[in-house]
Structure 1
Amino acid sequence: MSRFVDRVVLHATAGSGGNGCASVHREKFKPLGGPDGGNGGRGGSVLLVVDPGVHTLLDYHHRPHASAKSGAQGQGSFKQGANAPDLELRVPDGTVVLDADGEIVADLVGSGTQYVAAQGGRGGLGNAALASAARKAPGFALLGEPGDEVELTLELRSIADVGLVGFPSAGKSSLVAALSAARPKIADYPFTTLVPQLGVVSAGDETFTVADVPGLIPGAADGRGLGLEFLRHVERCEVLVHVVDCATFETERDPVGDIEALETELAHYADQLGTSALGERLDERPRLIALNKIDVPDAADLVDMVRADLDERFGWPVYPISTASRAGLRELTFAMAERVAAARAARPVVEATRTVIRPKAIDDAGFTIERDTEISDGFVVRGERPERWIRQTNFENDEAVGYLADRLARLGVEEALAKAGAVPGCPVTIGDVTFDWEPSTPAGAAALLTGRGTDVRLESNERVGASDRKRARAARRAHLSDAELAAGARYSSDHEIDE
């Protein structure tokens, strides 16, 4: 049996970016061909896409975890890693996305509307992209960034023009069935309707949707009965119709009391909800009153007795109807169409979203430095770029660590640490990594590199350079005579011929 689910918790994990490749071009008779490592591919994102063919969140109730694929690693010969495809999750129209704190982050209305639930990680740069005048053949590449991992709550809030509100067994389902082609479950016991039912109604030139939602009882705004499960689905309705059971067997109930009880719950829920996307509170929407079951003689007599009281108490139009004999349905249908048309005409024109560019301030360094409250004499560096660079660095490669130090120095982190009172050896935390701070070369200064994968600041190099060997050779030949120099030249020439 199919189930209707309108609230789920979704765990979305985006794909990580592929690592860059550290490679050197090798070809016969062409030594030192230069770096040719390609970049890693981008990780796939998790997208929520509105699909008119989806009407429930049942799929995510059974499968609450969604993970996108990761990007491919780069390869030699400048081969870029493949980007991973985005994972699209189909959701119903009217889905609201809430974060872990319960704050609304997206309201998905309209076919094709998208929301990036989890952003895929960027691929790491290969050593070909990291080459520079000072670092001609980098022996390292950047790692791919991990994808976002989020926990979101999805709530379905039905989109309908008219919402039918009333006590259980008031005849809301029968009214939807009489006005449209919808066939909700109808029975003679309370809470027959457990899930919202939508029906399409035509009246003249107007076509609108009517929502039959679960019955409401006093205390629903606090969660009694189906409570919030009901109220969530009337938030978007532009017109509300009170369906009153005039043939109830409960002697303590009357139409005026029923409507007052429902209005109290709507006002209570409106206080929690505030002003909605429709521009007005839920308890301020246009109202109609449908006195149902007038085909029963006692109900018809009750209508005559309470009609004046309803006009005096609420002032809303009253329509006696019978879903069994279809009496009064035409008048009610055109009254609903008239108010829906007025609400649509008053609705503000939706303008195309404008692109807003907010440039960063000139004095914005892009990072902040704070005292570490957990480590004595420690500092914490916070900022998008420093934290991203930490995630991209392979700390098993000394040259990659040196490259990170150069980037931080150019950004001004070292200068800011010195101004904040940091001294060499102080623990500094960036992202998830804590290290002892040692000032590196000044920003912009060329670093003298040694072998591939090493850094001069971490390892000393005793190798004699070509210029030193040339000076030593000149010094050895300075005390020789011309005859000795000529003999040495002939010896060198004969030695080359023998070889």
Structure 2
Amino acid sequence: MSRFVDRVVIHARAGSGGHGCASVHREKFKPLGGPDGGNGGRGGSIVLVVDPQVHTLLDFHFHPHVDAPSGKQGMGGDRDGAAGADLEVRVPDGTVVLDENGRLLADMVGAGTRFEAAAGGRGGLGNAALASRARKAPGFALLGEKGDERDLTLELKTVADVGLVGFPSAGKSSLVSTISAAKPKIADYPFTTLAPNLGVVSAGEHTFTVADVPGLIPGASQGRGLGLDFLRHIERCAVLVHVVDCATLEPGRDPISDIDALEAELAAYQPTLQGDSALVDLADRPRAVVLNKIDVPEARELADFVRDEIAERGWPVFEVSTVSREGLRPLTFALWDMVAAYRESQPVLPQRRAVIRPVAIDQKSFTVASDGDGGFVVRGARPERWIAQTNFENDEAVGYLGDRLARLGVEDELLKLGAKPGCAVTIGDMTFDWEPQTPAGVDVTMSGRGTDIRIERSERVGADERKIARKRRREHDEQS
């Protein structure tokens, strides 16, 4: 049996970029061929695409983890790694994307609409791309960046022109089935409809869509019953229609009280698209009232009794019967007139253009703040990205990082804030001891591949030192 799922949380993880390659060209009679390490490939992004053939979020309910492929590592011979393919995820028309804090990220309406949910990481540069006048043969490469990883909430909001609202068993599904080709499940017990039904209605040469919003009862806007699960489906409806059961036998129920109760719920509901949709608030949408089940004699009498009182509110009132099909044709043409009038009254929205906000040249791209314990924390997209790209097992790569930070002005800012030698400096996930005497950012004599004379590690014993130590031990043994 198929299920209708209209709200899911997905875990999107874009692909990571491939690492760069540190390689030296080797060829007979060419011992100094130069660096030829290729760049790593970028990671694949996760892109949501509206597909008219998809009608539910059921697939994400069972498979909430969405992972894009990562990029490949660069290789020698100036060969770049392959890029990870973007993963296109098909979603229904009317899907709204929210972030972890409930902030609206995308309102996906229209076939082919695309939204990049998670961007893939950039690939690391190989040593061929890092070669410069100061570093003619780098012995290191940059690491690939990790792709975006985030939790996203997908909500499906039915795209319909007319929304039918009413108490359970008021006849909304029956009305949809009689004025359109939709075949919803119909029975004589409450909450028969557990999923919104969408039907296409013809009014002469015009067509419009009607959605049945089930399960609305007093308290629905606060989560009672199934109201919150389906109130979101009326956010896009241009016209709201109250379907009233005039033949109900429940005590304390009458058409006027039913309409007042549902109007209170509509006024209390706060749509996700409030202020961001072309449609006005729910309280200002056009209304119509359908007095249903007039094939029952008592229901017809009650409909005639309350008709004028409802009409005084300025809403058109229609008396119909889905069993005898009485009044259905005038209803469909009247609904089309309301939809057409509403569409004409709405301003034509200009096509949204991408807004590019360039960063000023003299604008700082980082901040330095004290951590309260004598150390400092450096924040900024560029320093944190450089930290993630650095292989700290390679001294030359660490020296290159120091040059980049010095050129950015991080060292000067630390000096201005009174940083002392040996104080802890944190950038991203890395904490290290700051040595201001390191001549970062200036040309220095390069040592062996993968080393930097500016970075001394007391625990590491070089080959020359070991050779001298062996020579001294031999001389000591000969003398003894």
TM over 0.5: yes
Partner of 1:161: 161
Instruction: Encode CA deviations 1:307-363: one digit per residue, 9 max, x unaligned.
Output: 121122x22010100111111111110111011111222233232332322121233
Partner of 1:475: none
5 Å matches for 1:296-315?
296-312=296-312, 314-315=313-314
Counterpart among 398, 414, 434 of residue 437 in structure 1 = 434
Q: Distance in 2 between matches of 1:436 and 1:361?
A: 32
Matched-pair contact (CA < 8 Å) for 2:15–2:67: yes
Q: Secondary structure at the residue paired with 2:443?
A: coil
The answer to whether residue 375 in structure 2 is matched with residue 408 in structure 1 is no
5 Å matches for 1:250-265?
250-265=250-265
5 Å matches for 1:172-321?
172-270=172-270, 274-275=274-275, 277-312=277-312, 314-321=313-320
Partner of 1:495: none
Q: CA deviation at 1:278?
A: 2.9
Q: CA deviation at 1:30?
A: 1.3
Q: CA deviation at 1:459?
A: 4.1
Partner of 2:45: 45
Q: Which has the larger radius of gyration?
A: 1
The answer to whether residue 17 in structure 2 is matched with residue 17 in structure 1 is yes
Q: CA deviation at 1:133?
A: 0.6
Q: Distance in 1 between matches of 2:175 and 2:158?
A: 18
Q: Distance in 2 between matches of 1:296 and 1:329?
A: 16
The answer to whether residue 125 in structure 2 is matched with residue 125 in structure 1 is yes
Question: What letter corresponds to residue 4 of structure 1 in structure 2?
Answer: F
> Mind listing any 5+ residue stretches in structure 2 that lack a counterpart?
465-480
Q: CA deviation at 1:285?
A: 0.3
Q: Distance in 2 between matches of 1:273 and 1:251?
A: 37
Q: Distance in 2 between matches of 1:386 and 1:130?
A: 18
Q: Distance in 2 between matches of 1:35 and 1:440?
A: 30
Q: Distance in 2 between matches of 1:340 and 1:72?
A: 53
Partner of 1:358: 357
Q: Distance in 2 between matches of 1:273 and 1:48?
A: 19
Instruction: Encode CA deviations 1:180-237: one digit per residue, 9 max, x unaligned.
Output: 1000001111111110010001112321100012131100001111010121111110
Partner of 2:467: none
Q: CA deviation at 1:276?
A: 5.3
Instruction: Encode CA deviations 1:133-159: one digit per residue, 9 max, x unaligned.
Output: 110000000000011110111111111
Matched-pair contact (CA < 8 Å) for 2:46–2:88: yes
Change (3 A) 1:161 1:272: closer
The answer to whether residue 374 in structure 2 is matched with residue 382 in structure 1 is no
Matched-pair contact (CA < 8 Å) for 1:194–1:213: no
TM-score, scaled relative to structure 1: 0.90
Counterpart among 378, 388, 392 of residue 391 in structure 1 = 388
Q: CA deviation at 1:105?
A: 1.5
Q: Secondary structure at the residue paired with 1:319?
A: strand
Instruction: Encode CA deviations 1:389-409: one digit per residue, 9 max, x unaligned.
Output: 000000000000000000000
Partner of 1:85: 85
5 Å matches for 1:471-486?
none
The answer to whether residue 422 in structure 2 is matched with residue 425 in structure 1 is yes
Matched-pair contact (CA < 8 Å) for 1:38–1:78: yes
Q: CA deviation at 1:444?
A: 4.6
Matched-pair contact (CA < 8 Å) for 1:440–1:457: no
Matched-pair contact (CA < 8 Å) for 2:232–2:271: no
Q: Distance in 2 between matches of 1:421 and 1:358?
A: 34
Matched-pair contact (CA < 8 Å) for 2:399–2:440: no
Partner of 1:456: 453
Q: Distance in 1 between matches of 2:336 and 2:271?
A: 28
Q: Distance in 2 between matches of 1:63 and 1:455?
A: 48
Q: Distance in 2 between matches of 1:139 and 1:443?
A: 18
Q: Secondary structure at the residue paired with 1:277?
A: coil
Matched-pair contact (CA < 8 Å) for 1:44–1:85: yes
Q: Distance in 2 between matches of 1:368 and 1:275?
A: 34
Q: CA deviation at 1:118?
A: 1.2
Q: CA deviation at 1:369?
A: 0.5
Question: What letter corresponds to residue 119 of structure 2 in structure 1?
Answer: Q
Q: CA deviation at 1:272?
A: 8.2
Question: What letter corresponds to residue 92 of structure 2 in structure 1?
Answer: P
Question: What letter corresponds to residue 27 of structure 1 in structure 2?
Answer: E
Q: CA deviation at 1:271?
A: 8.0
Number of residues of Structure 1 aligned to a counterpart in Structure 2 = 460
Q: Distance in 2 between matches of 1:199 and 1:462?
A: 81
Question: What letter corresponds to residue 350 of structure 1 in structure 2?
Answer: L
Matched-pair contact (CA < 8 Å) for 1:5–1:61: yes
Q: More displaced, 274-283 or 70-79?
A: 274-283
Change (3 A) 1:224 1:450: same
Matched-pair contact (CA < 8 Å) for 2:14–2:149: yes
TM-score, scaled relative to structure 2: 0.93
Q: Distance in 2 between matches of 1:7 and 1:271?
A: 15
Partner of 1:484: none
Q: Distance in 2 between matches of 1:159 and 1:4?
A: 15
Q: More displaced, 441-450 or 291-300?
A: 441-450
Partner of 2:348: 349
The Cα RMSD (Å) is 1.6
Question: What letter corresponds to residue 242 of structure 2 in structure 1?
Answer: H
Q: Secondary structure at the residue paired with 1:210?
A: strand
Aligned residues with identical type, % of pairs? 70
Q: Distance in 1 between matches of 2:59 and 2:364?
A: 45
Matched-pair contact (CA < 8 Å) for 1:25–1:33: yes
Q: More displaced, 20-29 or 363-372?
A: 363-372
Q: Distance in 2 between matches of 1:276 and 1:18?
A: 39
Matched-pair contact (CA < 8 Å) for 2:199–2:210: yes
Instruction: Encode CA deviations 1:420-467: one digit per residue, 9 max, x unaligned.
Output: 11121110000000000112655652121100000010249999xxxx
Instruction: Encode CA deviations 1:164-195: one digit per residue, 9 max, x unaligned.
Output: 00000110001000011000001111111110
Change (3 A) 1:272 1:445: closer
Q: Distance in 2 between matches of 1:97 and 1:244?
A: 34
